[in-house]
Amino acid sequence: MRFAISLPPFGDFADPRFLAETAREAESAGWDGFFIWDHVFFDPSFHPNADPWVALAACTMTTQHIRLGTMVTPIARRRPWKLARETATLDQLSRGRLTLGIGLGDPVQWDYGFFHEEQNAKIRAGKLDEGLEILRGLWTGEFFSYSGQHYQMEKVRFLPRPVQPRIPVWVGGNWDKHTPQRRAARNEGYFPLKWGLEPLTADDWKVIMAYINQHRADLSAPFDWVHGGTTPGDDPAKAAAILKPLVDVGVTWWVEGIDPWRFGLSWEVDLTPESTRQMQTRIRQGPPKTG
């Protein structure tokens, strides 16, 4: 199992220099991945918020080996050819360390709604799938054209291509929905979300893995099973107990949620200096151990 953090680039972390220093600290503390949320606008608290691609570019300059990416990018509100340029450039800049998390995007009523963009989930899912096809085509560096329901483009060639032969794409989605699971089967990883008080269990993972593997074209190709959650940085035994059943079932990545709300801050209120310190402390404590 490998270990990453995911944090919103809000408040103090909206300063790209501060965020880049945080990425350096995460790498030094032993984390394997550093992911940030991708929002144009999150909620009516109007938190300071960084653009993810500019911010991640800054993070590449302070790190050497940690993987970098978004968790998650809603392709339906991006122009896919612009996203292809941004991701290829970032993969070049990081020397092949980009992982792209993708999904429909939430909170839809704000991140889409405030800009009068499409909120219908079925339409957004169609744009997501077509956008992924365009990304894959443009990342090849070969001539590519596209004609779909939502996007059309003439034959073009995007160079330079990414460093990686295929930028890993992790698909986020509700844990019990088959559509994002089939989407994940065509890509490189799945990051299921389970809302409510009960966390995703190892038994849940067995069901998810069985379904996705039925739809994967090549079971020998690399594929990541990505679990999001929280662990105490000051209680290794408790953290190991959380991780063990997930390791046993074959989960490959643990993504630690580093945000103000895990520490009790209410949603839609201004972020505080104390929440920044709490987030920094958990990052500096390093990843949980599996035993």
Read off the pLDDT band of 110 (50, 70, 90). Answer: confident
Mean pLDDT (the chain) is 95
Residue 164 covered by a domain: yes
Residue 72: helix, strand or coil by DSSP? Answer: strand
Residue 107 in this model has a pLDDT that exceeds 90: no
DSSP string across 189-250: EEEEE--SSSPP-HHHHHHHHHHHHHH-S-TTS--EEEEEE---TT-HHHHHHHHHHHHHHT
The two beta strands, 144-147 and 189-193, are unpaired
Please give the pLDDT value at position 181: 97
Residue 163 in this model has a pLDDT that exceeds 70: yes
Q: What is the mean pLDDT of residues 218-232?
A: 96
| CATH code, domain carrying 157 | 3.20.20.30
Residue 103 covered by a domain: yes
Predicted model pTM: 0.96
The two beta strands, 2-7 and 189-193, are unpaired
Domain boundaries, position 123: 2-285
Residue 61 in this model has a pLDDT that exceeds 90: yes
Over residues 117-162, the pLDDT tens digits come to 999 999 999 999 999 999 999 999 999 999 999 999 999 999 999 9
Q: How many domains does the chain have?
A: 1
Residue 291 covered by a domain: no
Give every CB contact of residue 25 below 8 A, 6+ residues apart in sequence.
Answer: 280, 283, 284
Over residues 73-93, the pLDDT tens digits come to 999 999 999 999 999 999 999
Q: What is the mean pLDDT of residues 195-205?
A: 87
Percent above pLDDT 70 for the chain: 99
Asked if 76 and 135 count as a contact pair (C-beta separation under 8 A), the reply is: no
Residue 25 covered by a domain: yes
How far is 170 from 193, CA to CA, in rounded Å? 13
How far is 246 from 254, CA to CA, in rounded Å? 9
- In angstroms, how far is the first alpha carbon of the chain from the final one? 11
Over residues 42-59, the pLDDT tens digits come to 888 888 999 999 999 999
Please give the pLDDT value at position 197: 66
Asked if 8 and 36 count as a contact pair (C-beta separation under 8 A), the reply is: yes
Residue 290 covered by a domain: no
Please give the pLDDT value at position 196: 72
- Of 98, 89, 39, 87, the residue nearest 63 (C-alpha): 98
Residue 6: helix, strand or coil by DSSP? Answer: strand
Q: What is the mean pLDDT of residues 19-34?
A: 98
* Crossing angle of the two packed helices 52-60 and 80-93, in degrees rounded to 10: 10
The continuous run of DSSP H or E covering 153 comes out as strand 152-156
Q: What is the mean pLDDT of residues 1-21?
A: 97
Q: What is the mean pLDDT of residues 2-26?
A: 97
How far is 56 from 238, CA to CA, in rounded Å? 32
Please give the pLDDT value at position 42: 84
